[in-house]
Amino acid sequence: MVAVVTADNRAKYAEQLGQMHRDRKKVFVDRFKWDLAVSGGEYEIDQFDTDTAVYLLELEPRTRGHLSSVRLLPTTGPHILGTLFPELCDGQVPVGEDVWELTRYCTTPDQPRSVTSPAGDRVGIALVEFALLFGIARYTYVTHMRLLSLLISQGWETEPLGLPKEINGQTLCALTLKISPATLQLFRRRYGYRYPVLELEPRAAAA
């Protein structure tokens, strides 16, 4: 099951969030060489890791350790596309109650792919379930061009927001991922899940 972590229940998942931030450093800073701030030489944490952020965490069933995660930000507040990369949009940056930003998708590098791949699949399903539950019609996403074909092959319905641009030596693009009940049906069928993967707590559901 994929846990929904909000400001309301964040203390319960403090250890797992710490693992997530360590894994983000290993993936984005050490592996991908992104120029990101590192806290204490160990944690990748930025200005958007605030109380408004929602995290979807897939945890190892036995140890409850971090396997895969993603951060979601409401576009009605500060977020990566609107704050750092608005030039990636040919028009206005999409904002609204039904538009959220998807960012920092990460799987732990400390487990084999046979473990992390299905964990990542469940997070993908959880993204769609979360959107449908909370009235999100689309996610915005800033990504590298090389990952665009992967998103399309996974079944996401994408729409570019502008032409790719080279920023700090990397070719980036901004796009939206449209969400509908058909998206959920496609993902559940593709990954072999008949039932919900999202684990909602009462306070998280009310957030």
Please name each of the domains of the chain with its CATH number: 2-205 (3.40.630.30)
Digit-coded pLDDT (tens) for 94-132? 999 999 999 999 999 999 999 999 999 999 999 999 999
Q: Which two structure tokens, joined as six digits, stand for 111?
A: 């487990």
Query: Using CA atoms, how far apart are residues 64 and 199, in angstroms rounded to an integer?
Result: 14
Q: Tally Cβ neighbours within 10 Å of residue 116.
A: 18
Burial class of residue 80 (count of CB atoms within 10 Å of its CB; 0-12, 13-18, 19+): buried
Report pTM: 0.94
The tens place of each residue's pLDDT in the chain, 207 residues long, gives 999 999 999 999 999 999 999 999 999 999 988 889 999 999 999 999 999 999 999 999 999 999 999 999 999 999 999 999 999 999 999 999 999 999 999 999 999 999 999 999 999 999 999 999 999 999 999 998 878 888 888 889 999 999 999 988 889 999 999 999 999 999 999 999 999 999 987 654 444
Q: 164-200: buried (b, 16+ CB within 10 Å) or exposed (e) per residue? A: beeeeeeebbbbbbebeeebbebbbeebeeeeebbeb
